[in-house]
Structure 1
Amino acid sequence: MIVNTELQQKGNQFPNRVVDFKKEVDTLYFTTQNEIILELTVLRDSVIRFRYATGGVFERDFSYAIDENASRGYNHLELKDDKEYYHVHTSKLHIRIEKESLQTAIYDTDGNLINEDEIGFHYEESFHYGGNIVKMSKKAQHAESYYGLGDKPMHSNLRGKRVQNWATDQYAFAKDQDPIYKSVPFYIGLNNKKAYGIFFDNTFRTYFDFCQERMGVTSFWAQGGEMNYYFIYGPQMSDVVTSYTNLTGVPELPPMWALGYQQCKWSYFPESNVKEVAAKFRELKIPCDGIYLDIDYMEGFRCFTWNKEYFPDPKRMVKELADDGFKTIVIIDPGIKIDKDYWVYQEGVKNDYFCKRADGPNMKGKVWPGECNFPDYTNPKVRDWWAGLFKELISDVGVKGVWNDMNEPAVMEVPDKTFPPDVRHNYDGDPCSHRKAHNIYGTQMARATYEGVKKFAYPKRPFVITRSAYSGAQRYTSSWTGDNVASWEHLWIANIQVQRMCISGMSFTGTDIGGFAEQPTGELYARWIQLGVFHPFCRTHSSGHHGDQEPWAFDEGVTDIARKFINLRYRLLPYLYTMFYEYVEKGTPLLKPLVYFDQDDAQTHYRTDEFIFGHHILVCPILEPNAKGRRMYVPRGNWYNYWTKQMIAGGKEQWVDADIDEMPLFVKEGTILPKYPIQQYVGELTIEQVELEVYYGLGKNASKLYEDAQDGYDYTKDRYSYRTFKMVGREKDWIIQQHKRGDFMTSYDTFRIHLIGLPFDIKEIELDNEVVSFEDVHFDPVACALIINKDFTELHLTGA
């Protein structure tokens, strides 16, 4: 084994020869002479956990990130050894472990190298804090690309970058600034058309270097804790992402209204201002489902209180807004004001619920209310208490969602913007310092919030949004990308961040449309709303200090563009809701970067702008001013321009026209796109007919449509409707077959089928094996549309 002498001089220690081996069911232990143990666990044939102990001792095995419902079980596990190596075989992988050094290499079953250690595991003792700085280095393959890691505001391909994970309140962050709000220590490697993932489940400050320091080496390390990572094999990027998402968990289905458009500002107050904004949406016929109250609704920024001067009767106001289709979402921060007359503070002190400094006193820090104490959300008792605090807001007042901010945790007027490292946390019975708990503090706050909202919103579904997050936060909460800026560069960043979050397991994410800091031009706002309606979480938010940012705050032209695109989102709600169902069921990300969509096409590996929305819609935002269109890469296959319905062949870069009121949108051939009528809010209308836009394509294709009561939990008792449409397109005929699962009865009885791109004139229509007259199905030859019963099993169109 070759060990870099310079590394040795720095106090690094390395595994030496393996002297002991044992196997316990799915876990193998390799112990070296110098008491380093590799615990290798086969979770699934393609998911392997590597965990290293030093001094012969493992820490208690505990993770906030891993979902207890994650799939376990493999088809094959076999161990062989020879003079130099141990060989572990599963049905998907061959892992080779060097006896002299514990260095590992991972191959697929055809013998292709997927990933191999460079030095592999090594560590140095941290004399400053105690414990180890744990390190892992891997060889980078030729032309290997790297993706993932959450909300990094930089090019989607991370090769050549070094980044770190330390949740940071970074107001008006810049392009390439790092770290910012979230810590998602998961990346995807892609080389030779094969993808794998590495999830380094360590909550300390972690670092990832993708060939920046040394050309041929990718490494990751942490300032404490264990070297504990999961290797996830594809070979498709989609397999890696869904396996990682399964490992760290999926959310429950959000209520459909949470997928509607939402409006926020710092701050809407008093009540008359909130009502005025709400009324304007209805007057201008711009759909909107959510309206937010920022910190000014509180009494002196004290959480769980109301400013009675601004909001004399919150329950009445929230009900009146609800009667008009608006759900009220309020902000709740972690800082609890030190005030002996404030009931939340009194309860926290009395029950010892606040984070403490190492020497005993409660941690004090300044946030909006002034001096505050901070609940220790890593303590299950504190989480239960915190959940209970939502009773009045949710049960009594009728608030429908909660927005957690400042939970990195953010502290003002201190150089590092957060808690001192000596602050103590319970960590679910494993006491630790803030160095270990920092990155998961926001997630545990969102978890406690979710448990409260869920309990008191029942039988409706909860809605929570967080700014800070660690892997696994998606089980409890949606998120947004924090305090961005009203600039064209930030529109580019927003596009990348949401794509990156989606392939990092956290699909329910969006950005502050228009930018939070500073003021957008009308043109920038128009281009941002065009992109924002294709983000899973869709909300305009601004600091409000430079002017207003509602859709009507610019000129009439911008208002019309905003209305047009928000209307489009509401028409596409059944498509978006179906995407969410697949995310919840299978871990499929809602947005797919082009490299995810077609990793075999090397042209996609460095594309940042274009993405696939769901499975069938190609979106490409306009990211610069005064544009009448743009060059974009259309991936392989045939695509219909959504606006013109013209078909183009992909696999090349091409110019696409898109004046200010359009954005390049394409639909994949062979797609059925379900559409609802435009509503001003979810549930305003009883849906009496669903339109299916059917895009002709040769060969076999399939599309899905998931529906349920749009809120509540009946869907868990089979009261849902999940339709699969299978299509076969030939030159002279076209067959659409429908298969349905679930017991939910939709409110509509018919589909209006709009046929696009038919290469023939229709001569005959056969429905469920019977020829029908054109009148029976209300066939309109000009629109090329017909109306049929929703429960058809087969529609057969024959051409002349």
Structure 2
Amino acid sequence: MQVATTSGKYSVKHYPDIIQSWKKEGNYFYFYTSTTILELRVISDKIVRFRYAADGQFQRDFSYAVSEKLEESPEFFDIREWADSFEIITTAIRVFVARENLRITITDTDGRIINQDETGFHWQYYLQKGGKIVYCTKLVQEGESFYGLGDKPTELNLRGKRVENYGTDAYGYAKDTDPLYRNIPFYYGLHNGIGYGIFFDNTFRTLFDFGKEREDVTSFWARGGEMNYYFIYGPALLQVAESYARITGTAELPPLWALGYHQCRWSYYPESKVREVAKEFRDRKIPCDALYLDIDYMEGFRCFTWSKESFPDPKALLKDLSAQGFKTVVIIDPGIKVDPDYPIYQEITQKDFACKRADGAYMEGDVWPGKCVFPDFTDPKVREWWSGLFKDLTATGVRGVWNDMNEPAVFELGTFPEDVRHDYDGENVSHRKAHNVYGHLMSKATAAGLKKHLMPQRPFVITRSAYSGTQRWSSVWTGDNIASWEHLWLASVQCQRLAVSGLSFAGSDIGGFIGEPDGELYTRWIQLGTFHPLMRTHSASNETGFNQDPWSFGPEFEAVVKSFIQLRYRLLPYIYTTFWQYAAYGTPMLRPLAFVAQQDENTHDLNHEFMLGDSLLISHVSEAGMTEKSVYLPEGTWYYYFNDQRYTGGQAVTIPTPLAEMPLFVKGGAVVAQYPDMQYVGEFKIMEMIQQVYFAEGTTHSILYEDAGDHYGYKTGQYNLVRFKQSSEPNLFRLKKKFVGKYNADYTHHRIRVHGLPFTPKEYVLDGVTAPLQPEHFVDGVVELNLLRKFEELVIR
């Protein structure tokens, strides 16, 4: 971890010495050595921030990541002095600060070590570029695993890895390529059943070593800025995720259509091609809600324009697509073409909103339009200007925006040179500090513009680059992947990692962006994508002109692809409920098995299996020609989705994998809400909600969240929470329902389908009234009853 100076020698590292004094100011504690100040802030009983002034001077306390809604809420805290340390106490943890050198040890209330400094904080001057390199090293605990850090394309457990955050346009990346597009400096530790998290809020290039350099030490450091990190105690990993969302903010609910199927290609043009694709979807009755327009819809790739030749009447086109149930999403990149006759270029230069080099010249670089200048999104005036540019697009009928190339990517240069200057909300910094938040702030400004101009409809934004907190306004995708089985595996791992890093609304380019998949690979990718929060096919142009559409691979594959997209739409109420959990509490939508069964060490290194929400377990088919797959099931009862075969968890089971199926399990005790088949969200009024109920002994709980699926009425109470409680015995099934809310849904009935009854039922009792079960109540081995929406209790015996 030494850094060479320009002379080839290593600069001296500096370490804190003995604490000379300390003071307490409210929930802030300050510890002073001869060179260093530690500011320790108790945010809650489980969240503590550590901030160090390396030479006795703190920098501006400012963050693009931390939510404005973060409030301090400790139940209790106190400090004790010992001969060798200070002990700060909360109801959940103990923080020990060593008098000799500021080293930190954190334990639970029983004295078990959660996290412990090795050398702890230290620093050195960055003689070549200015500022300081700040470090923190910690001991690896016995059997410790590490997770998180965004889109890293490697195994979920980062033990033994070293990774860095510096947003990079990694076209055609491979396994272990690093860095990639996103910059999420947040990770989890798990050992001895104890989970915690560390969020290193520093926008410079950051690096993390999880025992690669020294197997018993983990470390994180930044090439500039402050050592400023939040320690988050679980002990459950999902609790850590929720606390991280409390710090960096939660997502807003998207329009329901955004959870449907999206179709994209570079590029669908001219207008006739877009209409042709739309017609094929509706003629083939393959559900789809969103069609994307890539850069070829523009006039010479100029942002906020339409090609006069390819799209002569975009408003009429988008109106026609809307009438067929399609929402149009258009790409907008940050590069503004240098063209004196282009109004956006005129504005950005007249207003002095473009990034500049250190000597005052514009930052110019080639991207798709040719030579471009680039907005400085770290300037709030520029963000406000950018937001206003979406007025005309939304008036044309655009419902979503896709921000690409915003690492920022520049041909030949790769990205901006480090001498480029940024406003940074009034600080005036170099690109070294602003690089990792450039795309983050572009998508923030985009979302603000769409929200304003689409009101009362909800916006949809998808961005390639991001920093911690981007979840508050945007979805993401995993970038320019390849049509290969390796990348199908990576898609699963990356989306799980993004979810636990705060960015649940994520997906991959189904089928691969680069190259052409065969029918089997595309079908297996669709199957995986069905269970990702964002489900989008996207592919690049190629010499053969091949279109990667659901029907492109022949009837056999089309039938399976169609069946899984239909399944996606049936599961929309379940997926929307899972999104509500994410929006309300920060609970990841995708949950690696280590996050739902952390006491089971068998789950700690699993990459294939994950949960979508509370009740669905997925393990995608990951190899060509695979006829069966071993799947590890956590403790509990599990039902194979396609035939209701029941399995006992805590073991691996082998599942056949015919093309039309994939390993998909439902947790015993679950109530999984489903819609009837539809072609797009809003196609018709839903008059019946289907509830797939899976028997399990004991007591289990499920929820259904529902609202209008668009607009903001839910913020004023126009939503329903339907809570189900199943409490069953070997010879008795009981389901209670509690309904709370003010949203007047269209449907009047629940169709209850009870799977896996271990006894032969004779009758049912509905809200105290007994009736015999008739032959028509038994459908394919499932007991099926059509009940009024307001029922309260169902008993089958």
TM-score surpassing 0.5?
yes
Alignment of 1:501-580 (within 5 A): 501-545=498-542, 546=544, 547-580=546-579
Preserved contact between residue 636 and residue 648 of structure 2 (Cα < 8 Å): yes
Q: Give the match for residue 26 of structure 2.
A: 25
Preserved contact between residue 424 and residue 434 of structure 1 (Cα < 8 Å): yes
Please report how far the alpha carbon of residue 770 of structure 1 lies from its aligned counterpart in structure 2 after TM superposition: 2.5
- Counterpart CA distance in 1 for 2:232 and 2:428 is 30
| 1:56 alignment partner AA | G
Q: Give the match for residue 796 of structure 2.
A: 797
Preserved contact between residue 640 and residue 668 of structure 1 (Cα < 8 Å): yes
- Counterpart CA distance in 2 for 1:711 and 1:279 is 25
- Counterpart CA distance in 2 for 1:734 and 1:431 is 66
- Counterpart CA distance in 1 for 2:632 and 2:772 is 43
Preserved contact between residue 779 and residue 787 of structure 1 (Cα < 8 Å): no
Q: Give the match for residue 468 of structure 1.
A: 465
- Counterpart CA distance in 2 for 1:77 and 1:618 is 40
Partner SS, residue 371 of structure 2 = strand
- Counterpart CA distance in 2 for 1:41 and 1:676 is 47
Q: Give the match for residue 61 of structure 1.
A: 61
Partner SS, residue 21 of structure 2 = strand
* Paired residues, number: 787
Under a length normalisation based on structure 1, what TM-score does the superposition of the two structures give?
0.97
| 2:680 alignment partner AA | Y
Residues 254-294 of structure 1 deviation map (CA, whole Å, 9 limit, x = unaligned): 00000000000000000000000010001111000000000
- Counterpart CA distance in 1 for 2:757 and 2:10 is 71
Q: Give the match for residue 630 of structure 1.
A: 629
- Counterpart CA distance in 1 for 2:633 and 2:306 is 51
Against the structure 1 CA distance between its residues 71 and 791, is the aligned structure 2 distance closer, same or farther, given a 3 Å change threshold? farther
Q: Give the match for residue 329 of structure 1.
A: 329
Preserved contact between residue 591 and residue 611 of structure 1 (Cα < 8 Å): yes
Q: Give the match for residue 280 of structure 1.
A: 280
Percent identity, aligned pairs only, is 52
- Counterpart CA distance in 2 for 1:708 and 1:488 is 38
Residues 722-775 of structure 1 deviation map (CA, whole Å, 9 limit, x = unaligned): 100001011221211111111111111111111111112223322112224547
Please report how far the alpha carbon of residue 82 of structure 1 lies from its aligned counterpart in structure 2 after TM superposition: 1.6
Say which is worse superposed, 627-636 or 505-514, in terms of deviation: 627-636
Please report how far the alpha carbon of residue 54 of structure 1 lies from its aligned counterpart in structure 2 after TM superposition: 2.0
Partner SS, residue 14 of structure 2 = coil
- Counterpart CA distance in 1 for 2:599 and 2:589 is 21
Alignment of 1:281-296 (within 5 A): 281-296=281-296
| 2:323 alignment partner AA | D
Please report how far the alpha carbon of residue 131 of structure 1 lies from its aligned counterpart in structure 2 after TM superposition: 1.1
Please report how far the alpha carbon of residue 780 of structure 1 lies from its aligned counterpart in structure 2 after TM superposition: 4.1
Give RMSD over aligned pairs.
1.3
Alignment of 1:599-748 (within 5 A): 599-748=598-747
Partner SS, residue 495 of structure 2 = helix
Q: Give the match for residue 230 of structure 1.
A: 230
- Counterpart CA distance in 1 for 2:244 and 2:181 is 21
Corresponding position: 1:438 with 2:435: yes
Q: Give the match for residue 91 of structure 1.
A: 91
Corresponding position: 1:185 with 2:185: yes
Partner SS, residue 578 of structure 2 = helix
Preserved contact between residue 762 and residue 773 of structure 2 (Cα < 8 Å): no
Preserved contact between residue 106 and residue 113 of structure 1 (Cα < 8 Å): yes
Please report how far the alpha carbon of residue 58 of structure 1 lies from its aligned counterpart in structure 2 after TM superposition: 0.5
- Counterpart CA distance in 1 for 2:426 and 2:285 is 53
User: Which of residues 466, 470, 474 in structure 2 aligns to 1:477?
Assistant: 474
Say which is worse superposed, 545-554 or 226-235, in terms of deviation: 545-554
Q: Give the match for residue 5 of structure 2.
A: none
| 1:468 alignment partner AA | S
Against the structure 1 CA distance between its residues 9 and 709, is the aligned structure 2 distance closer, same or farther, given a 3 Å change threshold? closer
Alignment of 1:191-230 (within 5 A): 191-230=191-230
Q: Give the match for residue 456 of structure 1.
A: 453
- Counterpart CA distance in 2 for 1:19 and 1:29 is 11
Please report how far the alpha carbon of residue 653 of structure 1 lies from its aligned counterpart in structure 2 after TM superposition: 1.5
Please report how far the alpha carbon of residue 793 of structure 1 lies from its aligned counterpart in structure 2 after TM superposition: 1.1
- Counterpart CA distance in 1 for 2:699 and 2:108 is 31
Residues 20-58 of structure 1 deviation map (CA, whole Å, 9 limit, x = unaligned): 101110100001022x00000000100000000022110
Against the structure 1 CA distance between its residues 70 and 500, is the aligned structure 2 distance closer, same or farther, given a 3 Å change threshold? same
Q: Give the match for residue 16 of structure 1.
A: 17
Preserved contact between residue 611 and residue 619 of structure 1 (Cα < 8 Å): yes
Alignment of 1:78-477 (within 5 A): 78-394=78-394, 396-414=395-413, 417-477=414-474
Preserved contact between residue 30 and residue 38 of structure 1 (Cα < 8 Å): yes
- Counterpart CA distance in 2 for 1:646 and 1:766 is 27
Please report how far the alpha carbon of residue 126 of structure 1 lies from its aligned counterpart in structure 2 after TM superposition: 1.1
Preserved contact between residue 404 and residue 465 of structure 1 (Cα < 8 Å): yes
Q: Give the match for residue 763 of structure 2.
A: 764
| 2:315 alignment partner AA | K
Please report how far the alpha carbon of residue 690 of structure 1 lies from its aligned counterpart in structure 2 after TM superposition: 1.1
- Counterpart CA distance in 1 for 2:399 and 2:345 is 24
Q: Give the match for residue 586 of structure 1.
A: 585
Q: Give the match for residue 6 of structure 2.
A: none
Q: Give the match for residue 596 of structure 2.
A: 597
Preserved contact between residue 11 and residue 125 of structure 2 (Cα < 8 Å): no
| 1:33 alignment partner AA | S
Against the structure 1 CA distance between its residues 570 and 89, is the aligned structure 2 distance closer, same or farther, given a 3 Å change threshold? same
- Counterpart CA distance in 1 for 2:113 and 2:575 is 38
Preserved contact between residue 778 and residue 787 of structure 1 (Cα < 8 Å): no
| 1:288 alignment partner AA | C
Say which is worse superposed, 606-615 or 652-661, in terms of deviation: 652-661
Preserved contact between residue 269 and residue 296 of structure 1 (Cα < 8 Å): yes
Please report how far the alpha carbon of residue 200 of structure 1 lies from its aligned counterpart in structure 2 after TM superposition: 0.4
Partner SS, residue 614 of structure 2 = coil
Say which is worse superposed, 778-787 or 553-562, in terms of deviation: 778-787
- Counterpart CA distance in 2 for 1:228 and 1:578 is 35
Please report how far the alpha carbon of residue 781 of structure 1 lies from its aligned counterpart in structure 2 after TM superposition: 6.5
Q: Give the match for residue 48 of structure 1.
A: 48
Residues 620-640 of structure 1 deviation map (CA, whole Å, 9 limit, x = unaligned): 000000111211212221100
Please report how far the alpha carbon of residue 246 of structure 1 lies from its aligned counterpart in structure 2 after TM superposition: 1.5
| 2:671 alignment partner AA | I
- Counterpart CA distance in 1 for 2:76 and 2:716 is 35
Partner SS, residue 246 of structure 1 = helix
Q: Give the match for residue 779 of structure 1.
A: 777
Residues 217-247 of structure 1 deviation map (CA, whole Å, 9 limit, x = unaligned): 0000000000000000011101111100121
Preserved contact between residue 778 and residue 786 of structure 1 (Cα < 8 Å): no
Please report how far the alpha carbon of residue 9 of structure 1 lies from its aligned counterpart in structure 2 after TM superposition: 7.1
Say which is worse superposed, 437-446 or 687-696, in terms of deviation: 687-696
Against the structure 1 CA distance between its residues 779 and 381, is the aligned structure 2 distance closer, same or farther, given a 3 Å change threshold? same
Against the structure 1 CA distance between its residues 326 and 147, is the aligned structure 2 distance closer, same or farther, given a 3 Å change threshold? same
- Counterpart CA distance in 2 for 1:715 and 1:33 is 54
- Counterpart CA distance in 1 for 2:326 and 2:723 is 33
Preserved contact between residue 627 and residue 660 of structure 1 (Cα < 8 Å): no
- Counterpart CA distance in 2 for 1:54 and 1:590 is 39
Residues 673-702 of structure 1 deviation map (CA, whole Å, 9 limit, x = unaligned): 111011100010211111111110000001
